[in-house]
Chains A and B, each alone.
Chain A
Amino acid sequence: MSFLLQQLLLHPRRILDLDNAQLNQLISQARSSNLLASLAMELASEHLENQLSPNVTRHFQSALLVHEKQKRDLNYDIEKIRLALDSIGEKLVLLKGAAYLLAELPVGRGRLISDIDIIVPFLRIDPTERALNEVGWESSYVNSYNEYYYRKWGHEIPPLTHLKRGTTLDVHHNILPPTAGPNVDASLLFERLIEVKPGIFTLSQQDMVIHSATHLFHEGEFRHGLRDMWDLDRMLRDFPDQDPSFWKGLVDRARELELLGSLYHGLHYAQRVFGTPLPAGIIEEAENLSRRLRKPFMDFLFLRAFQPDHPQCRQRFTSLALYLLYVRSHFLRMPLYLLLPHLARKAWMRHFDKKDSLENEQNPEAI
């Protein structure tokens, strides 16, 4: 598969050959995929930004400024969260974007974040939430069906928002809901933490990759699909350089976490979308008969989903593929006897119950 943004992320120098219409397409695709700052970093690493017209460069610069601002804000928020957790003797373990940025990994170069994700052991959720409440992080989902759903069936508590700064914090206790097929033993994740700054931890590099793939392949919406794929590609290129034993045991680790299916998809699609170099045999090691049989159908769905949401990238059946993936994500999340009542309830809320649905509506003042 091939589209402009993918080509330019991998071969930034080609930007010099683009005409204005293509540049517009590129920036449009990158902006809607949340990859404009990542692309800007790739251009900067080859000192290309000054060879473009200032009218074009200003969009890259603007995205980089947003990225810089997010990093500053993140450091501030993280320090507050670390202190809050420290007061109850809990470690701060970061997931996803916040982890990439704090650990200063190449995958964090230009990575934009929309919230901060952390994980604590399930039994420590209550004291964690209380400690965070005390320093201004509060849930906006109070006494609603949405809150009930999060607390009963979720792998995280309802998102917390900081009263003054407005930052969103997701507190997880697992990486998949307890109702999902795989039964992930989250305590295994805590056994291999890496301390990246004093008192600040991330998952191990193998677990970061497995988590990123799991998150991506259980999602129902692919607005960030390509961005998450780019994360995987960056990690899979960088981690083996840092640690030659990275590949060894990756498949076993995923099997141990019951997340081999997600890892398999992650590796397969990273290779398909970004040509990520993989060691010989690893795909076969992660593959089984059922995955092999489903592959053509999964390719049909995912190769559409990983394109930017952009008219130039829409193929035949893109909408159908996105819809099927949305349905699939629900099946992956919970068994039918739980799912059907839940969907019925949500549909009811959307049409008749303003109180709950209002929580999700965007604030029009933001315009």
Chain B
Amino acid sequence: MQQLANLSDSELNQRLAHEGLGLQVGPYIYKIKTNLPLVAAGISTLYKNFNLAEPEAFIDYNVAILSKGLLQRLRGQSDFLFDSTNPFDSIPTGQAYAFLEWGMNWCVSLHTNEYLKLHAAAVSRGDHAIIMPGVPGAGKSTLCAALGLSGWRILSDEHAMIPPNTTEVVPLCRPVSLKNESIDVVKRFSSSAIFGPVSRETHKGVVAHMKADLHPQSHETKTLQARTMVFPKYAKDETQRLTPRRRTESFILAAYHSFNYSLLCETGFEAMKTLIENVTCYDLVYHDLDWAVNAVDSLSDPEPNP
């Protein structure tokens, strides 16, 4: 399969500006269009090793970030388009890259329901996957980035997708979204982290994305067995700890962190039950990233649940 890196700059720009760039992202194919050099540069950096979609393939999601017409250019505004319609208000062009990534998340959050989707990061080592649910700000993306930079395979920093009645995770590797201080925290953690364009003054503050496909198997599509669920919480003033957590509470919390648990109704309940019954659950409170990575490393060989 051909990778984006095989395209010359002019070929890449040609595709982005005209027919659209088809990319294989986990089980989905996105077709991306943009006329913004900033966004093209971000894609070229962060999706460099992604596989290109076959020319005749069925496209799941048509997305675009465009600044159209003289007036919009003068105002420095752009639109995110999905299926050629504009689901959101116009955004400042300087934030376009972050909005493309959010928009690509939104496609999965809103339009796919063949999996139970947890709002969670997921990483794997060997066949062993760890699911890390968390509210925004809990530090799941930061931890996910650090694990990715420490030899773990990043499966997703946003959607842990579970086929109902399995304990498997479907890989959906895309750039990791980091916000505010966590950008520098990750840069300090590893100088090898590769970042895309920085978007300032978004509704979430400063946002930058980190290249996530750092593992040789990053783009394999085979599902992985989830054996562990970790609920990370970044807390500056608390004692760092990795403690077992009861399954009942974990069920409720994971359901709360799901995009489509209630939409799937009984299927959702059964899927969550199967998953929770087969994973060991932990709370991870941390403020030092090295400590947190070591703690997760220690879970590679999980002990039975208390």
Contacts and interface: CB of A to CB of B under 8 A. Distances in A.
Contact of A66 (B87, B102, B105, B263): B263
A58 B114 contact: yes
Q: What is the interface residue range for chain A against chain B? A: 20 to 34
A309 B83 CA distance: 9
Interface in A32-81: 32, 53, 55-56, 58-59, 61-62, 65-66, 68-69, 72
A351 to B, nearest CB: 13
A134 to B, nearest CB: 25
A361 B103 CA distance: 17
B66 to A, nearest CB: 12
Interface stretch (B56-64, B179-187, B219-227): B56-64
A349 to B, nearest CB: 15
B84 interface: yes
Given A59-B111, A65-B263, A365 B85 contact: no
A61 B56 contact: no
B106 A367 contact: yes
Nearest to B54: A20
Contacts of B83: 28-29, 31-32, 310
A311 interface: yes
Per DSSP, are chain B's interface residues mostly helix, strand or loop, or mixed?
loop
A59 B110 CA distance: 11
A315 interface: no
A226 B187 CA distance: 50
Q: What is the interface residue range for chain B against chain A? A: 20 to 34
Interface in A302-337: 309-311
Contacts, number: 65
B102 A24 contact: no
Contact of A55 (B60, B89, B102): B60
Contacts of B260: 65
Contacts of A20: 56-59
A61 B113 contact: yes
B88 interface: yes
Given A58-B114, A68-B265, A361 B58 contact: no
Given A69-B263, A309-B85, A367-B88, A56 B58 contact: yes
17 contacts: A19-B56, A21-B56, A32-B84, A53-B58, A55-B58, A55-B60, A59-B111, A59-B112, A65-B113, A66-B113, A68-B265, A69-B262, A311-B84, A362-B87, A362-B89, A364-B203, A367-B103
Interface of A: 19-21, 23-24, 28-29, 31-32, 53, 55-56, 58-59, 61-62, 65-66, 68-69, 72, 223, 309-311, 361-362, 364-367
Given A309-B85, A367-B102, 5 more contacts: A24-B58, A53-B58, A55-B58, A65-B260, A69-B265
